[in-house]
């Protein structure tokens, strides 16, 4: 997180200096810092340091400043950076849990930093080999496990008996992560930092699609609680989709925008090639914002629509 924040601020400052704009005044809006933080929490904690720098730099320089800076970018910069990393380095970006060799030893902070910056464990093991080897199977998330097992011909009932789902609604530990993001999102609503339209429409639509799919095909499609309490569902609902620059600007438009993202997440998770579709759904929904705003903007009485 610290590395992503520093990279975002430095990249923003360099581009602003090249564009001959005030560095201090632009950095004080904290948009670059927020982009770095959102990308950092979206990347696996043991990802190599250079991936954090590369993704954050791409998000700030290409996805934000290349379009003219804050308020001009049509796509969420953090999600652009995330998708670039996911497509370019799929193994590292899908290795969320530590391999068994590491988890069994409970590494301290220095060991963790060594793995991130050197790519080797305290015992000299190569992190890349651990990720792609048999030991890397232990790094799968609930959504990864679900999709991989379905492709292997297992039914949902069989999959939910796996240890990763033991005694949990959406995978061991992952429901608590999403509930924590939910608490943070409710706090933002209470502080009126965001509006309710996008999170509510997104979560309701995702739950509805998941419920209908599970009702008609319970052997092949995930349950609503797995969709709502795993992956980046709550993070996306409250902290990413609500970006004021790339989301719809009207209340009706926000409802449509959130619902569209909910449908896309369900479709990608259920039928797409990636286990979690939040980032792709956000970017695809961003494309539709001008059209949504055009048809949902308030009508001025006495004037004809041009």
| Domain end position, chosen among 37, 66, 94 | 94
Residues 57 and 175 in one domain: no
Q: How far apart are CA 126 and CA 138, in angstroms?
A: 16
Q: How far apart are CA 78 and CA 51, in angstroms?
A: 13
Q: What is the predicted pLDDT for the residue at 132? A: 47
Q: How far apart are CA 105 and CA 100, in angstroms?
A: 9
Distances (CA, A) of 4 to 78, 106, 222, 238: 11, 24, 33, 21
pLDDT tens, position by position, 206-238:
999 999 999 998 888 888 988 998 888 999 999
Q: What is the predicted pLDDT for the residue at 169? A: 59
pLDDT tens, position by position, 55-102:
999 999 999 999 988 889 999 999 999 999 999 988 778 765 554 444
Number of independent structural domains in the chain: 2
Asked if residue 127 is part of any domain, the answer here is no
| pLDDT-wise least confident of 97-101, 110-114, 131-135, 176-180 | 131-135
Region 280-285 average pLDDT: 96
Region 40-44 average pLDDT: 90
Asked if residue 102 is part of any domain, the answer here is no
For residue 122, name the pLDDT band (cuts at 50, 70, 90).
low
Beta bridge partners of 120: 126
Residue 162 has pLDDT above 80, yes or no: no
Q: Which two tokens stand for residue 163?
A: 């240890």
| Domain end position, chosen among 94, 120, 137 | 94
Q: Which two tokens stand for residue 117?
A: 């910056």
| Residue percentage of the chain with pLDDT more than 90 | 52
Asked if residue 156 is part of any domain, the answer here is no
Q: Which two tokens stand for residue 100?
A: 């068994």
Comparing CA positions, the residue from 243, 292, 251 lying closest to residue 73 is 243
| pTM (two decimals) | 0.84
Domain extent at residue 61: 1-94
Residues 204 and 90 in one domain: no
Residue 201 has pLDDT above 60, yes or no: yes
Asked if residue 88 is part of any domain, the answer here is yes
Asked if residue 126 is part of any domain, the answer here is no
Q: What is the predicted pLDDT for the residue at 137? A: 40
Residue scoring higher pLDDT (145 or 195) = 195
Region 258-275 average pLDDT: 93
Q: How far apart are CA 78 and CA 82, in angstroms?
A: 6
Q: How far apart are CA 192 and CA 79, in angstroms?
A: 24
Residues 64 and 174 in one domain: no
Q: What is the predicted pLDDT for the residue at 104? A: 47
Comparing CA positions, the residue from 140, 181, 180 lying closest to residue 164 is 140
| Domain end position, chosen among 47, 64, 94 | 94
For residue 301, name the pLDDT band (cuts at 50, 70, 90).
low
Asked if residue 306 is part of any domain, the answer here is no
Asked if residue 122 is part of any domain, the answer here is no
Residue 174 has pLDDT above 90, yes or no: no
Interior angle at CA 26, CA 24 and CA 30, nearest 5: 105
Q: What is the predicted pLDDT for the residue at 161? A: 75
Torsion of the alpha carbons at 59, 64, 66 and 71, rounded to the nearest 10:
170
Residue 109 has pLDDT above 50, yes or no: yes
Asked if residue 111 is part of any domain, the answer here is no
Q: What is the predicted pLDDT for the residue at 36? A: 95
């Amino acid at each position: 997180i610290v590395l992503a924040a520093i990279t975002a601020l430095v990249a923003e400052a360099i581009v602003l200096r090249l564009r001959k704009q005030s560095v201090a005044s632009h950095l004080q809006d904290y948009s670059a810092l927020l982009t770095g933080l959102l990308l950092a929490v979206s990347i696996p904690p043991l990802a190599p340091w250079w991936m954090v720098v590369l993704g954050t730099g791409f998000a700030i320089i290409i996805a934000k400043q290349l379009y003219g800076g804050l308020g001009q970018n049509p796509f969420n910069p953090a999600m652009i950076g995330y998708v670039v990393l996911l497509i370019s380095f799929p193994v590292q970006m899908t290795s969320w849990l530590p391999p068994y060799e590491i988890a069994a030893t409970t590494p301290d902070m220095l060991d963790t930093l060594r793995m991130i910056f050197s790519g080797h464990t305290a015992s000299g093991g190569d992190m890349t080999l651990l990720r792609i080897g048999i030991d890397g199977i232990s790094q799968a998330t609930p959504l990864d496990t679900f999709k991989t097992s379905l492709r292997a011909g297992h039914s949902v009932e069989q999959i939910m008996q796996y240890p990763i789902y033991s005694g949990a609604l959406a995978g061991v530990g992952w429901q608590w992560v999403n509930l924590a993001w939910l608490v943070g999102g409710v706090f933002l609503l209470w502080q009126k930092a965001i509006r309710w339209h996008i999170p509510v429409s997104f979560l309701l639509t995702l739950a509805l699609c998941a419920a209908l799919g599970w009702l008609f095909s319970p052997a092949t499609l995930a349950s609503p609680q797995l969709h709502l309490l795993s992956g980046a569902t709550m993070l996306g609902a409250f902290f990413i989709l609500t970006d004021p620059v790339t989301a719809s600007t009207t209340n009706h438009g926000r409802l449509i925008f959130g619902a569209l993202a909910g449908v896309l997440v369900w479709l990608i998770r259920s039928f797409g090639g990636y286990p979690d579709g939040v980032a792709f759904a956000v970017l695809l929904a961003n494309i539709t914002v001008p059209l949504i705003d055009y048809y949902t903007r308030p009508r001025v009485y006495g004037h004809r629509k041009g």
